[in-house]
Amino acid sequence: MRDLSSRVSKYSLSTMFLNRRTSHYSSMTPKTPTEPTEAEQKTLESWRHLFETPKYKSDLNALPGIDEPVFGFEIEWDDLSEHGDLQVTFSENMEHTLACGNQVLKEQYSDRIMSTRPVIRVVNLPANRYYEMSELRMRDRSRLLSFDAIVVMTSPAIGWLKNSVYQCNDCESKWTINERLARPREKVTYCRKCLQEIQDDLRSKKPKSFHKDPTDISMVVEENFYEDIQYLEVVSPQMILDGKADNGEVYQVVVFDEYVGQFSRGDMLTINAEVAVDPLVNRDFIRDTRRMIFLKSHSIEEGLSNEANHSIDESVLESLPPK
């Protein structure tokens, strides 16, 4: 009979590291029905109340039959403050608050039999979130700010792997990994559910002499989710007035979903975006510690802010950096 002691030892050693690495693999937890936390329930309920107001209910009722694959559903910033702590939670954890809102919005669309994928876009940010692009610094990282921008150049549309799906070939559980834009794909090496079962068994009074291989996993390629993106190079009107654009200084903005392919050189926009960082061009993210600022767009509004409209006209287009 085959000696399985080395196999058991191997998995015993693996389980020693499980608790240490729980936080790292939290996103790898298999999909299982879980009750939302009390805070999440409050956020979900606040979104439901917002969508039930006459203003947004009428917007929803006007949309059945829309044939766009992705539709940006605009929410006024000031309206968030009228529904629970939405404005506060949005400021503290935008990604999670939007995820809750998009979940509720998807329910609303499903009830109305729509095939489009709805995405919340918060617009008309307050004046205290307006920021001059050329004054951005690393301390502004992760802030959601509003910028006046003029498009200099657009890239071709591309896609990125936003969510990858894996399946255990033994227990058949599935889980989703939230990937990071322009970063190496997350390494997935084992089924956490199976490894947890091994750990529990080895701690029991009578552990089994054989355990199935928890590393027998595979990617479910057909269930992966890809998102359309496009890169814009932009300058602020103030950069043109100050002569900074003459030196070819531009900022990079990444736009998503319904904004892809919508803009061209010379367009004047108000871009509401999260300040993010990327490695220098043609440099390795892991080996090189230097970073450059870019803007990860959340919502985009046509035209510049009122403040900029007083000092900028079409003549600035002649001062744009070359393509």
- Hey, which bits of the chain come out as E strands? 70-76, 117-123, 144-154, 158-168, 174-178, 217-219, 225-235, 251-256, 268-279, 291-302
Mean pLDDT of the chain: 81
pLDDT beyond 50 at 165 = yes
The span from the CA of 86 to the CA of 300, in Å, is 20
Q: Which residues 6+ apart lie within 8 Å of 283 measured at CB?
A: 290
> Which residue in 13, 6, 2, 3 sits closest to 198, CA to CA?
13
| 186 burial level (CB within 10 Å; 0-12, 13-18, 19+) | middle
What is the per-residue pLDDT for 230?
96
Which amino acid makes up residue 120? I
Residue with tokens 């997935």: 188
Q: Which residues 6+ apart lie within 8 Å of 158 measured at CB?
A: 228, 229, 230
Q: Mind listing the pLDDT tens digit for each residue in 306-321?
A: 665 556 666 767 767 7
What is the per-residue pLDDT for 306?
64
pLDDT beyond 60 at 33 = no
Report the percent of the chain where pLDDT is more than 70: 80
Q: Are 209 and 4 in contact (CB under 8 A)?
A: yes
Going from the N-terminus, what domains does the chain have, and what CATH number goes with each? 5-30+170-215 (no CATH), 31-124 (3.30.1640.10), 126-163+224-323 (2.40.50.140)
- Hey, which bits of 157-263 come out as E strands? 158-168, 174-178, 217-219, 225-235, 251-256
The span from the CA of 271 to the CA of 235, in Å, is 11
What is the per-residue pLDDT for 277?
85
pLDDT-based confidence at residue 210 (cuts at 50, 70, 90)? confident
Mean pLDDT for 139-161 is: 92
- As given in the structure block, the two tokens for residue 180 are 């990071």
SS3 130: strand
Count how many Cα atoms sit within 13 Å of the Cα of residue 160 in the half-sphere of its side chain.
17
Q: Mind listing the pLDDT tens digit for each residue in 248-288?
A: 788 999 999 999 999 999 999 999 999 998 766 665 656 77
pLDDT-based confidence at residue 86 (cuts at 50, 70, 90)? very high
Report the percent of the chain where pLDDT is more than 90: 41
Q: Facing residues of 151 across strands? A: 234
- As given in the structure block, the two tokens for residue 230 are 């496009």
Measured from the Cβ of residue 6, the count of other Cβ atoms closer than 10 Å reads: 7
Degrees, nearest 5: CA angle 52-54-56: 65
Which amino acid makes up residue 189? T
Q: 301 vs 71, which has greater pLDDT?
A: 301
Q: 74 vs 180, which has greater pLDDT?
A: 74
What is the per-residue pLDDT for 26?
35
